A and B are shown apart, each in its own frame.
Chain A
Amino acid sequence: MTSKEVFHDVKVVDFTWAGAGPITTKYLADYGATVVRIESRSRPGLLRTTPPYKDGIPGVDRAAYFGIYNPNKYGMTINMNHSQGMELVKRLIAWADVVAESFTVGVMEKWGLSYEEITKIKPDVIMIRTNMQGHTGPHCRLPGTGVNLVGISGYAHLCGWPDRLPSNPYGPYTDTIAPRFGAAMLIAALDYRRKTGKGQLIDVSQFEAGVNFIAPVMMDYFVNGRVANRRGNYSPRAAPHNAYRCKGQDTWCVIAVFTEEEWKAFCEAVGSPDWTKDERFSFFLGRKAHEPELDCFVEEWTLNRTAEEVMALMQAKGVAAGVVETSADLHRDPQLKHRNHFWVMDHRELGSFSYFGQAAVLSGTPAQPRMPSPCLGEHNEHVCREILEMSEAEFDELLVEGVFD
């Protein structure tokens, strides 16, 4: 660990599971914090039991979904129903600056680990709790996953086609929104604590985080009574504005033309065929009024070219365009490669595996890959012996007592 790691002296006990919680603590881990994940061996978390698995063979250490959000963290298993297990947890809390959790309301309370209780162990602790709908209110205890939240926060209804069932952003999407807010607040709270000595409780609702992104759509309803609907790729500000089929199997390129200048550049890029001179397409409102027909002409042109060719021809003329990249495309995307977006590390079970780094690159204190995601209970001994400075005999006793089972 170099002195350049921002959070080199920050210690986190991490009870989180699924997506939102681990993504939040990843912000600290990637910048040098010591993060100890607490898991259960008898009830491994959801992401350890969800595909994809290495070679399609299920196994808690073969689940990439867990892996992706947990590099740079230590992994520990503790039996929370064991009295010595609970003692061990309390020692870790006393050691930590931050306690993170993402259970349904009631789980931490049942263990006697409410915010109030843990401040008795560590008075200046920062506790961050992230869940579906926040930790107060009539629905705070409702179970569910981000897939459900995509529905209740308006995203599903606003994705897809107006004449079809609502589509969805892929997966539990709000799980990926809330951590950006949670991490920003958590770091602000660490700074505040350093200056004042005061910890606090942070309550993150993934529902509320998701709604923050769509504020203009909400205000359009409050003020103008407009209930936004899903509209494919329609944009009121641009035409053409769509994904166009290209040469090859289910390959696409998006093109977005906003200004008059961009329309002229677009016409040049497609070689100025007759349809680009059609009077109806010569002005923005005309292009909007005849957009389906315009889209057909554009697609006639794109169909004979690969998505990469379309993107290159458009970008060369200064027109916004981009390949609809698949997962395979992401792995060969030259920009992501240049930015070291993927952190390739060797994992005992996953093999050579591409984690992802941080979207914001810090010039002086960059995020760094230090270690792959932990196997279940991989660091039980390390955490006890090196971090909590237990004797070998003490550790062995816990082992025999089944504290890590």
Chain B
Amino acid sequence: MSQKDGPLSSCRVLDLTDEKGLFCGKMLVDLGADVIKIEPPGGDPCRNVGPFYRDIPDPEKSLYWLSFNTGKRGITLNIEVSDGRRIFRQLVERADIVIESYEPGYLDSLGLGYSDLSQINPGLILTSISPFGETGPYKDFKASDIVVMALSGYMSLSGDPDRPPVRTSFPIAYCFGAAGAAAGTMIAYYHRELTGEGQWVDASAQQAVASALLNARMHWDLNRVELKRAGPYRVGLSAQGKQLINFRCKDGYVNFVMFGGKTGAKTNRGLTQWMESEGMGSDFMNEIDWDSFDMARVSQDDFDRFEGDIERFFLTRTKSELYEEGSKRGVTIYPISTIRDVFEDPQLEARDFWQRVEHPELDATLLYPGPFVKCSQTQLRPPSRAPRIGEHNQEIYHNELGMSPEELVMLRQAKAI
């Protein structure tokens, strides 16, 4: 095992997931595993999910597909026909992990549930990823990103109070579910390597998002206080009132959070002095003794006065000026970055975050987010191009399983591959 191979370099994964689970396989790829994406003949339906390369809706050009399948190998296989199931069982014999996101019970109905697969390969880990889990009253519920975000408590905390609750404007519920599934899979894998025992990992996206609500739910659990969505304001962290944290500035928006205590004193005093030195001082803020400033005693009127004075100053500066100059002065102001700002961020650039991947079939080089962590010993694998439909059929079916070209033709005619 060498450094560049990644910690999972001897691990083989079969990936049967759709958009609920693609990200799990991607994380295992990044960790060095050999992940084989199994698609139905003709390609995975989530190849039809946008955005697309140059807005051309083509199953080989889905940027959604490309970003969450980097580094996987790809074969087509129809497990709904008996020849396909036979091949699948052969693949399972040589695999360490199978990940799937079918409706609960679907694999069982094909004779390919955990009890069946574990007979073929007792050390196998089967990771099932679903909106609500494999068991329970909601297991057969129809879901999508927004439904999971609603039922997990996320949406009730997000959005402006006078409008409907909102999700984030891009789907992330299934990323939460799939990343949680990857962590669970790694725990099962660690156990497997110790003991040889496989097991079934049953991951719920609802639970993954429901565990990401920070301190909101505890306000209810302890004190029967229900936090409400507050838009650009911050609630639930200071004792009273709502505090604006997203401010307009000269070229967009910045994020500034007022804290009490030692943490807050430095930033609050720094900002007060900065405003004064630019001739935009606030009489109200100048009079505050920041060392003894107690957030719990700040009234809504006070918050409103901070808001007005601070915004007037921020409107004279750009995001980048407030961020960079603020950091020199020990004043914590962060840009509310647009997607373009994220791309141009100097910190990500300095850490070589963006990775170039050649796409000869598009005659293009595309940029991808880099590995999710950096390691000194087992570097994560940098992204490489996602598979085209059936790209590795020959490699797997012929080279590895020893099928003849004639058999492959016959299997294709039988709609198995």
Contact = CB atoms under 8 A, between A and B. Distances in A.
A30 B241 CA distance: 36
Given A137-B347, A200-B376, A330-B210, A184 B182 contact: yes
A6 B253 contact: no
Contacts of A41: none
Interface in B53-79: 53-55, 63-64, 66-68
20 contacts: A51-B237, A68-B218, A133-B347, A136-B351, A142-B327, A142-B332, A152-B336, A185-B373, A188-B31, A207-B345, A219-B366, A223-B63, A235-B145, A327-B220, A331-B220, A334-B136, A361-B202, A362-B187, A364-B200, A365-B199
- Chain A contact surface mostly: mixed
Given A207-B347, A254-B147, A256-B146, A171 B133 contact: no
A148 B51 CA distance: 28
Contacts of B281: none
B169 A158 contact: yes
B90 interface: no
A238 B193 CA distance: 44
A168 B201 CA distance: 32
Given A167-B160, A192-B377, A356 B67 contact: no
B213 A170 contact: yes
Interface in B318-372: 327, 332, 334-343, 345-348, 350-351, 353, 364, 366-370, 372
B333 to A, nearest CB: 8
Interface stretch (B81-89, B172-180, B272-280, B402-410): B172-180
Interface string A178-200: 00111111011111101110111
A65 B221 CA distance: 11
A53 interface: yes
A243 B158 contact: no
A285 interface: no
Contacts of B229: 167, 170
Interface string A141-160: 01111011111111111111
B214 A176 contact: yes
Interface string B371-386: 0111111101000000
- Chain B contact surface mostly: mixed
A64 B7 CA distance: 36
A215 B156 contact: no
Interface in A74-91: none
Interface stretch (B35-43, B254-262, B297-305, B393-401): B254-262
Contacts of A67: 218
A365 B184 contact: no
B168 interface: yes
Contact of B237 (A50, A148, A213, A339): A50
B155 interface: yes
B315 interface: no
A261 to B, nearest CB: 11
Interface in A224-250: 224, 226-238, 241-245, 250
Interface string B176-207: 11011111111111110110011111111111
